[in-house]
Structure 1
Amino acid sequence: MEFTAGGRFEVRMTQADVGKRVSVRQLTESGGPAEKFTDTVGVLTSWDDGVLLITRRTGESVRIPESALVAGKVVPPAPARRRGPAATYAELALVGARAWQPVESEPLGAWRLRAAAGFTRRANSALPLGDPGVPLDEALERVRGWYGERGLPAYVQTATGAEGTQESLCAELEKRDWYAEVSAEMRIAALAPLGDRDADVARVRLDRTCDEAWLGRYQRSKAPGPHVLHVLGSGPSVWFATVPGEAGTPAAIGRCVVDGRWAGFMAVEVEPDQRRRGLATAVMTALARRALEEGASAAWLQVESRNDGARALYEGMGFAVHHHYHHYRPA
């Protein structure tokens, strides 16, 4: 990336550019036969007390001492992704929230406090979709208090890496000693190619509700209570997939929520000794075909950034990263 004018490094940005996407170069090693530099691209989320804070697309925060800065400039927003359907962060945030509906919720300005007795962070976190209507410190105190009353840890779900995401909010949370406990990817794809895959869908049974066998395979809940059934059953049009196995325990399961043009895939799990036999593909293909019948045309799913196996599987199915999301909690 070009940083120079007439062969000289230049810093062509100021503190007034906080909130913009920038590219900077810092000196990481001086002396010796050659100096070494590191380049960073992301949103300039703060520039205070001689330190720049840049939030990368993945949500990682990079602190750069002003004294090490040798070049920098504002750059255009990340180009629109060519893979997958057109989508905004705001649209996907709402679609994702409707697929994991809490038992109770309460507005805080344009934020929404959500709780479901601790089952899934997505249904037990504050979702900021705008201004909370009060200063941030007061909003966070209300978040702490609301979840504390319910005996739950306080979480704020944020997003990075797409137009309209919340890099600045992430930086403000980190300044207040909140940290990202878990980060994940929101991936999207066209739905028709998934439904067209050659998979053994004849083995897959689709139901409107999940039974005890399905819940027995689901690893996210050891003792499913009414709150678990509420969250799993929530959504505009919910389908559960089961591949029967031995001794009444499914060999594979999955869940799909159809919401307008979107079909969301989640809870895809396979018996460990049945993996690499195409069962996950069969489950998702069967669910995709049902979603296509209901008029959906686009697909989404969420996968933790550290789950390399699942990320590789979904990459092979055509799912591309749209943005990253994070669950922050106070230290």
Structure 2
Amino acid sequence: MEFTGGGLLAIRITGSDVGKRVSVRYLTHGPATAATFADAVGVLVSWDAGVLVITRRTGESVRIPESSLVAGKVVPPGATRRRGPATSFAELAWVTARAWQPVESEPLGEWTLRAAAGFTRRANSVLPLGDPGMELDAALARVRDWYAARDLPAFVQAATGAESTQELLCAELEKRGWVREVSAQVWTGGLAPVADLDADVSEVRLDRDVDEAWLQRYQRFGVPGPHVLQVLRGGPSVWFASVPGTGPIPAAIGRCVVDGRWAGFMAVEVAPEYRRQGLATAVMTALARRALDEGASAAWLQVESENDGGQAMYAGMGFQVHHHYHHYRAGEGGQG
């Protein structure tokens, strides 16, 4: 069904535009308020039963009755602003995956099933890049069975603000009762600006392997079993940074994985009593300089959407949001 509007506004989208990035204006009002205009830009993931669903870059889904539409158009791909070093979503997704490798993995078509005894969702979720080789419901049933055999909850990691196929997958997962539990952002930037920061790196120690003191500062697990160490040590070229404190546990730590032109920063943590002393910047700078020595030129990192302090620090270093990713957990008794 196609709509046309009079005057300067026109609705130039139809149900055939599902999967494309669109910009729409619509009327919205509450029970006791006058109608006002609202805007939504994102991927049109469905248009069923008179309701449009648009997924924004952040992963938020907006439901809009078609009767409320005032204007709408498809946003050309060229209108998307380039953020950070030029890269495709697929390239960056594989680089980030290689930097945080699971203990075991198995292909499902072009998807990758990953497990690491429950240590972090990233290492215990499906990386759905491409076609699983079967209908979606069958693929999700296979995912449930694979994780159940390992006594793990089934998670799928999917992105928004990256490419339409990923956003469509997010919408299909939500339709089937999969619940989004955690969202994070992937930021990219040039590596040289980080290496050039005016930071005191004299106390930063760089090592090829992780030690017990580093692990005590990295409090993301209970007892650090072999699976934790395998994930932390995995990657093309891994470096661990630490800054000594007054006791045996470091005041600050960080991890960097160099993979071709990319350097990925992870596990940058500072003890509460040492914060606001520039230690996180010192760790990042020291790791960036080592990555430059290995030939890297671009940088990426991941930060949770609620971490306002981290986002402010990374923005000050020249990083920008590239895309958002979300972990969807299989709902109880849901489809797929």
State whether residues 90 and 164 of structure 1, in contact with CA within 8 Å, keep that contact through their aligned partners in structure 2. Answer: no
> How high is the TM-score relative to the length of structure 2?
0.94
Q: CA deviation at 1:25?
A: 1.5
Tell me if 1:219 matches 2:219. Answer: yes
> Which residue in 1 is equivalent to 2:18?
18
> Which residue in 1 is equivalent to 2:234?
234
> Which residue in 2 is equivalent to 1:246?
246
Distance 2:30 2:147 in 1: 49
Tell me if 1:191 matches 2:203. Answer: no
Distance 1:226 1:8 in 2: 64
Q: CA deviation at 1:250?
A: 0.3
Q: CA deviation at 1:117?
A: 0.3
State whether residues 128 and 157 of structure 1, in contact with CA within 8 Å, keep that contact through their aligned partners in structure 2. Answer: yes
Taking only aligned residues, the RMSD between alpha carbons, in angstroms, comes to 1.9
Q: CA deviation at 1:32?
A: 9.6
Distance 2:95 2:164 in 1: 16
1:128-277 equivalent positions in 2, closer than 5 A: 128-163=128-163, 166-277=166-277
- The alignment-based identity, stated in percent, is 74
Distance 1:81 1:235 in 2: 31
In the alignment, structure 1 segments of 5+ residues that lack a partner are none
**Distance change (3 Å), C-alpha of 1:156 and 1:78:** farther
- The one-letter code sitting in structure 1 at the alignment partner of 2:295 is G
> Which residue in 2 is equivalent to 1:324?
324
Distance 2:134 2:30 in 1: 46
> Which residue in 2 is equivalent to 1:114?
114
- The one-letter code sitting in structure 1 at the alignment partner of 2:146 is W
- The one-letter code sitting in structure 1 at the alignment partner of 2:131 is D
> Which residue in 2 is equivalent to 1:296?
296
Distance 1:135 1:68 in 2: 34
- The one-letter code sitting in structure 2 at the alignment partner of 1:223 is V
Distance 1:75 1:182 in 2: 28
Distance 2:82 2:166 in 1: 22
- The one-letter code sitting in structure 2 at the alignment partner of 1:17 is D
- CA deviation map 1:228-247 (0-9, x unaligned): 00000000000000001122
**How many equivalent residue pairs?**
329
- The one-letter code sitting in structure 1 at the alignment partner of 2:121 is R
Distance 1:85 1:288 in 2: 16
Q: CA deviation at 1:194?
A: 0.6
**Distance change (3 Å), C-alpha of 1:263 and 1:72:** same
Distance 1:186 1:138 in 2: 30
Tell me if 1:69 matches 2:88. Answer: no
Distance 1:313 1:165 in 2: 31
**Distance change (3 Å), C-alpha of 1:131 and 1:216:** same
- CA deviation map 1:30-51 (0-9, x unaligned): 9999641111111000001111
- The one-letter code sitting in structure 1 at the alignment partner of 2:313 is L
State whether residues 23 and 73 of structure 1, in contact with CA within 8 Å, keep that contact through their aligned partners in structure 2. Answer: yes
> Which residue in 1 is equivalent to 2:305?
305
Distance 2:164 2:261 in 1: 21
Distance 1:33 1:215 in 2: 55
Q: SS of the residue aligned with 1:202? A: coil
Q: CA deviation at 1:184?
A: 0.6
Which stretch of structure 1 is more off in the superposition, 249-258 or 160-169?
Answer: 160-169
State whether residues 77 and 163 of structure 1, in contact with CA within 8 Å, keep that contact through their aligned partners in structure 2. Answer: no
State whether residues 9 and 70 of structure 2, in contact with CA within 8 Å, keep that contact through their aligned partners in structure 1. Answer: yes
State whether residues 253 and 268 of structure 1, in contact with CA within 8 Å, keep that contact through their aligned partners in structure 2. Answer: yes
Distance 1:210 1:249 in 2: 13
In the alignment, structure 2 segments of 5+ residues that lack a partner are 332-336
Distance 2:32 2:194 in 1: 54
Q: SS of the residue aligned with 1:173? A: helix
State whether residues 42 and 55 of structure 1, in contact with CA within 8 Å, keep that contact through their aligned partners in structure 2. Answer: yes
Tell me if 1:103 matches 2:64. Answer: no
- The one-letter code sitting in structure 1 at the alignment partner of 2:234 is S
1:53-64 equivalent positions in 2, closer than 5 A: 53-64=53-64
Q: CA deviation at 1:67?
A: 2.2
Distance 1:229 1:31 in 2: 56
Q: CA deviation at 1:9?
A: 3.4
